[in-house]
Structure 1
């Protein structure tokens, strides 16, 4: 049976034109190989060059990292200062509103008199208006820029 099978295969290869079947495969393979060589010769040096440039740029960027971190810290400090200023302004605005309410004599003369003797008005907290124990106004402590920005080396 093996002899018959080998004879059949031999007859097949002898009688058939394998070159017609193999030639397109070889042509396609050669075409692919040519494209691979083109890629290797044209694009690979470009990729290597771009990679070298990227490495150089990356090393230069890493040199700026300490300066960038200082800038980021300054931005963070600025944001903190803005929040503190906002808080201080709200506190001062509240005190100004209270002072306006208490000192607006022409329009609310009766209300002020009543509030000053505290019969019909709710008593104000001393901390709310920043009156000290002696009855004098004490200005609130507000931000100082040097709390947020230290002298740079």
Structure 2
């Protein structure tokens, strides 16, 4: 019996409060939102699908080129190392040229050589700083070799479909 009374009470509540006036704007707004969502889906979904396919294709190409890209990055790193090594070797060679000029008694530097040889005004020279070996021959410094920094394989990083 309580269920019948409860249902009568709810029915009288809905009738007396005119619930349809309150629900109608909500239903209208919901229908408008559904319409807009359908329009958005019809307009933008093909574009989104196309863009995702393009992105997928581009990503595939990028992944195919990754190995080549890594090789190029390694070559750039090797080139940077080579430049640093060339700087070091160039400084050593310049020092050897300076020592050679002093040892060969270049006329423009006669006074400097004389002063340095009697060591009055010059700092003492390190015995290891000489261009001559123990047997009297010129001893060149060991400089870089490009083979130390670059592969000699004939891989061309720009080929094989990577654009």
Who is 1:113 aligned against? 114
TM-score by length of 1: 0.77
Who is 2:59 aligned against? 58
Who is 1:30 aligned against? 31
1:41 Cα deviation from its structure 2 partner: 1.9
Structure with the larger helix share: 1
Tell me the SS of whatever aligns to 1:127: coil
5 Å matches for 1:1-40?
Answer: 8-40=9-41
Unpaired runs of 5+ residues, structure 1, are none
1:57-93 CA distance string (max 9 Å, x none): 1111222222222212211211111011011112222
Tell me the SS of whatever aligns to 2:152: coil
1:119 Cα deviation from its structure 2 partner: 6.4
CA distance in 1 between counterparts of 2:136 and 2:123 reads: 18
CA distance in 2 between counterparts of 1:16 and 1:95 reads: 106
1:122 Cα deviation from its structure 2 partner: 4.3
TM-score by length of 2: 0.73
Task: Summarize the Cα distance change of 1:107–1:133 in structure 2 as closer, same or farther, 3 Å threshold.
Answer: closer
1:127 Cα deviation from its structure 2 partner: 2.5
CA distance in 1 between counterparts of 2:144 and 2:109 reads: 35
1:49 paired with 2:50, answer: yes
RMSD over aligned Cα, in angstroms?
2.8
Unpaired runs of 5+ residues, structure 2, are 155-163
Q: Is the 8 A contact 1:126 1:132 kept in 2?
A: no
CA distance in 2 between counterparts of 1:76 and 1:118 reads: 45
CA distance in 2 between counterparts of 1:122 and 1:135 reads: 24
Higher relative contact order (CA 8 A, sep 6+): 2
1:47 Cα deviation from its structure 2 partner: 1.2
